[in-house]
Structure 1
Amino acid sequence: MVRVPTGRRPPEPFTPLHFQLVLLRRMADHNPDLVEDARRALGASAADLREAHRRWQAMLRSPRPRPHGPERREGALVRSVLGAPESRTPRRVGDLDCEAWQWPLPLWPDLRFEVLTAPGGAVWNQWLVRAPGAAPPVLRTVADLTPWSCTVEEAARAFAPARPLQGSAPTRWGLALTAPDAHGAPREVVAEFTWGLLQRIAVGDPRRP
């Protein structure tokens, strides 16, 4: 039987460039100007960003069976796009021995994309963290908490004790913390993060019970 060509091209491979666009898509809700600059630096259009997000969501929701089961799908997808991790580090979380996988991303050379995997390979967490050996930001006052300046862990450490807050989406986190203002007076703020990177702060803590 002869197959008649349909004229449809095979889908373009999903590359690390597309993955970075996926991260930017979520950040655009809070910092469209920063995202636009980053998108242009990657040589991508606004349509490319939207299409990358659409394809990633479609891959996550694909009903096709995968060799490691649905609970490991996202970790397998990240590896299929970014390749083998730059590092795989054992990590203890409570009573469980886990593993942290990290990949470099050209858009944020001082950061790494980290996936925390549970025993068996299920993904527990994924976000941006400071790269090993990279200088951490100096965080002393509220004014230092600027968009994209720090990660969740860095803000929590600089202004301990910080209280975790549930984010509005799986890729978002919040921290309620107290930081001094320019005059040294303590200010309660909520720091909001997307993919582990600071996006904005709000003065006061509207989610305090």
Structure 2
Amino acid sequence: MTAATPFGPREFQLVLLRRMADHQPGLVEDARHELSATLAEMREANRRWQAMVRAPRGRGSLRRYRSVLGEPESSLRRTVGDLECDALLWPVPLWPDLRFEVMAGPGGAVWNEWLVRAPGAAAPALHTVEELRPWSCTVDEVARAFAPARPMEGSAPTRWALAITAPVTGEPYVAEFTWGLLQRLLTR
């Protein structure tokens, strides 16, 4: 991939994978091969994405996503507390049952960006912590299945964590997510 190569959905998926590689290198390696991408291409995609994000006169976040991913597959109006926002959803071929969601407030300010379950796609049945496997579920699905889950600060940008409790044993865990997708489960 060179700077002259268009930055599109394939390259964006490589950016998602780059951050996930910290916790799930084997899954990332398989996904990278599925995209027919080299390690160098993944690093270059991430470098170019970071340059776009940090460019002093670059596109705003929402415009950047539209330029890279095209027009969203769907757009939904949502209310979060007293605020209204738009949830824009794009397909992600590596994860056909998921969508990349960007929540944008008034004026196009991006409030959140992560992977969510696609509308109409079946969510996994989550009743025990043993069912929490890497890349199997999203932040929202784990929060609902293990309510009351407590949000925690993630260890880096694009990372989230939830403090959860095993239903039967009461054992405390931390579920860690990258781009909204479960990466690992740790005991607290």
Instruction: Structure 2 unaligned segments of length 5 or more: list them.
Output: none
| 1:170, distance to aligned residue in structure 2 (A) | 2.1
Per the alignment, residue 92 of structure 1 pairs with 79
Other structure's SS at 1:170 match: coil
The amino acid that maps onto 2:161 is G
Give distance in 1, aligned partners of 2:143 and 2:56.
38
CA distance in 2, matches of 1:133, 1:161: 25
SS at match of 1:137: coil
Structure 2: distance between partners of 1:74 and 1:57:
12
CA displacement 1:20-47 (0-9 Å, x = unmatched): 0000000000000000000000110111
Kindly tell me: are residues 162 and 48 of structure 1, through their superposed partners in 2, closer, same or farther at Cα, counting changes over 3 Å? same
Q: Do structure 1's residue 186 and structure 2's residue 170 form an aligned pair?
A: yes
> Is the aligned partner of 1:111 residue 2:95?
no
**Number of the residue aligned with 1:142:** 129
Query: Which residue pairs with 2:9 in the alignment?
Result: 16
In the superposition, the TM-score normalised over structure 1's length comes to 0.87
Partner of 1:196: 180
* Cα distance change of structure 1 residues 47 and 185 upon mapping to structure 2, 3 Å threshold: same
CA contact (8 A) 2:86 2:103 kept: yes
C-alpha contact 2:92 2:100 (8 A) present in aligned 1: yes
Q: CA RMSD in A?
A: 1.2
State the alpha-carbon separation in 2 of the partners of residues 201 and 21 from structure 1.
Answer: 23
Alpha-carbon distance in structure 2 between the residues aligned to 1:84 and 1:46: 28
Q: Does 1:174 align with 2:167?
A: no
Q: Percent identity?
A: 67
The answer on whether the counterparts of 2:52 and 2:58 sit within 8 Å (CA) in structure 1 is no
Q: Does 1:131 align with 2:118?
A: yes
Counterparts in 2 of 1:24 and 1:65: CA distance versus 1, 3 Å: closer
2: CA distance, partners of 1:65 / 1:202:
38
Per-residue CA deviation, residues 27-77 of structure 1 (Å, 9 max, x unaligned), is: 0000000000000001101111000000000111112354xxxxxx12111
Moved over 3 A (4+): none
- Taking structure 2 as the reference length, the TM-score comes to 0.96
Tell me the distance in 1 between the aligned counterparts of 2:3 and 2:180: 34
